[in-house]
């Protein structure tokens, strides 16, 4: 395996570099102007509303679609002019993974391994290992048709990993997964990033992403709007909403008004306030307690990523 981290041979930077990419289907402008960077060793989240061009972008990254303009580089290779080089390096997991119904789970993976020209003996071991990674070993001899949606998603992930890619392109990998599988997916993605691979994940499930992603790229209407590092500093400084409940609702409302913190009632009888960063939220809670207001609940209503996403896409819905 070639480590994708750091400058590759010839000083070529690894990872994904997209700049000014545009793609239209007839009159429909699917991707207007997207630029992003996904670095080796990091999980990069691609988030945006439905129809914002995420899947089209991934098709272009997966060497299936030619961009109308703009450039793409995957580990220093252009998917349009060097598709072979790119395909050897990527693992692509499409949204709504279709599979050959009549084949068994093992046969699906062995077929893909053969398509990557992996020698049979090596492929056998690789398939066996991947079946355990995605917890499909006990279903290996079952027909792919009988798999549930979540099991198909896991098969799709195994398929994307079979050639030991240095760049992973995952389109909605968590959809249809049960909570345990989601947590396992998160661990798989983290360990892949730790091996120095570039992982690009598109998803709607923001709370999940916040825990796994190092960086988020927000796209809307075919444009990349914001690129955000999701480290501790982000959680400490990002504007987030908190929900409060108290045994003395009137006193709570009075106090908030007095210190000029805007609050709005939300369903369930709670109040919602906005605080910039965890530090100021903690400060607010300390103030409330010192004031003698009997607080029974003080909880984040949205993750920081969710707030950033909503803020960025607010005017575009």
Partner 1 sequence: MSWHGIRTVAVLELRQRLRASRWAIVLGVWFAIIGVVTVLTNLTLHDPLVDSGPAMYDVVVFFVLGLGMLVVPSLTATSINGDREHGVLATLQTTLLASADIVLGKLLAAWAIAAAFLVTALPFLVWAWFEGGISTGRILISLLVLMLVLAVVCTVGLMFSSLTARPVASAVLTYLALGALVFGTVIGFGLTNFLVTEEETLRVYGIPDDWWDTHNPPVDQNAPAPAAPTQPLEPSRADCTTFERRTDVAHTERIWWMLALNPFVVVADAAPSRPAREAELNAGFTPMRWISAGARDARAGAPHGVQQECYIGTNLQESPDPLADAAARSGPVWPFGLGFLLVSGVGAALVAERRVRTPIRRLPNGTRIA
In the bound state with partner 1, the residue whose beta carbon lies nearer, of 48 and 94, is 94
Under DSSP, the state recorded for 300 is: E
Give the nearer residue to partner 1 in terms of CB position, either 66 or 276.
Answer: 66
Q: Between 33 and 52, how does the x/- string for binding to partner 1 read (CB under 8 A)?
A: --------------------
Nearer to partner 1, 97 or 242 (CB): 97
Q: Which two tokens stand for residue 268?
A: 């369930």
Work out the number of other CB atoms within 10 angstroms of the CB of residue 317. Answer: 8
Task: Please state, in angstroms and rounded to a whole number, the distance separating the CA atoms of residues 151 and 146.
Answer: 9
Q: Which residues in 163-177 are b (16+ Cβ under 10 Å) and which e?
A: bbbbbbbbbbbbebb
Minimum CB separation from partner 1 for residue 268, in Å?
42
Asked if 159 is part of the footprint of partner 1 (rule: CB under 8 A), the reply reads yes
215-220 and 223-229 as β-strands: parallel, antiparallel, unpaired?
A: antiparallel
Provide the greatest CA pair distance for the chain: 73
Nearest to 270 by CA among 241, 291, 290, 292: 241
Say whether residue 112 binds partner 1 (CB under 8 A). Answer: yes
Judged by beta carbon, residue 85 or residue 237, the one nearer partner 1 is: 85
Strands 198-202 vs 167-171: parallel, antiparallel or unpaired:
parallel
Token duo for residue 273: 């306030």
The piece of 61-69, 186-194, 206-214, 293-301 that touches partner 1 (CB under 8 A) is: 61-69
Q: Decide: 84 and 160 in contact? Cβ < 8 Å.
A: no
Please tell me whether residue 258 binds partner 1 under the rule CB under 8 A: no
Question: Is residue 18 close enough to count as binding partner 1 by CB under 8 A?
Answer: no
Answer yes or no whether residue 66 interacts with partner 1 by CB under 8 A.
yes
Stretch that binds partner 1, among 92-100, 199-207, 254-262, 283-291 (CB under 8 A): 92-100
Interacting residue ranges for partner 1, rule: CB under 8 A: 25-26, 59-60, 62-66, 79-80, 83-84, 87-88, 90, 92, 94, 96-103, 107, 111-112, 114-117, 159, 163
């Amino acid at each position: 395996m070639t480590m994708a981290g750091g400058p590759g041979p010839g000083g070529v930077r690894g990872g994904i570099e997209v700049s000014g990419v545009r793609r239209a289907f007839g009159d429909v402008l699917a991707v207007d102007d997207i630029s992003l960077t996904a670095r080796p060793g990091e999980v990069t989240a691609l988030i945006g509303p439905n129809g914002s061009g995420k899947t089209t972008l991934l098709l272009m990254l997966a060497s299936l679609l030619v961009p109308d303009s703009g450039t793409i580089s995957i580990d220093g290779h252009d998917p349009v002019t060097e598709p072979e080089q790119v395909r050897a390096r990527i693992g692509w997991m499409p949204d709504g993974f279709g599979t050959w119904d009549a084949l068994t789970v093992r046969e699906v993976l062995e077929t893909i391994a053969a398509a990557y020209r992996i020698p049979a003996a090596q492929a056998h071991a690789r398939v066996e290992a991947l079946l355990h990674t995605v917890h499909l070993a006990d279903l290996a001899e079952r027909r792919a048709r009988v798999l549930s949606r979540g099991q198909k998603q896991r098969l799709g992930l195994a398929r994307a990993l079979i050639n030991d890619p240095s760049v992973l392109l995952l389109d909605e990998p968590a959809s249809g997964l049960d909570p345990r599988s989601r947590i396992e997916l998160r661990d798989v993605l983290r360990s892949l990033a730790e091996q120095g691979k570039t992982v690009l994940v598109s998803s709607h499930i923001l709370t999940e992403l916040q825990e796994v992603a190092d960086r988020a790229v927000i796209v809307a209407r075919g444009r990349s709007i914001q690129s955000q590092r999701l480290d501790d500093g982000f959680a400490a400084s990002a504007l987030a909403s908190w929900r409060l409940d108290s045994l003395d609702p009137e006193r709570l409302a009075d106090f908030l008004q007095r210190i000029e913190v805007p609050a709005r009632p939300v369903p369930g009888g709670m109040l919602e306030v906005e605080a910039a960063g965890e530090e100021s939220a903690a400060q607010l809670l300390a103030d409330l307690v010192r004031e003698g207001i009997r607080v029974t609940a003080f909880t984040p209503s949205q993750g920081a990523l969710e707030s950033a996403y909503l803020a960025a896409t607010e005017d575009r819905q």
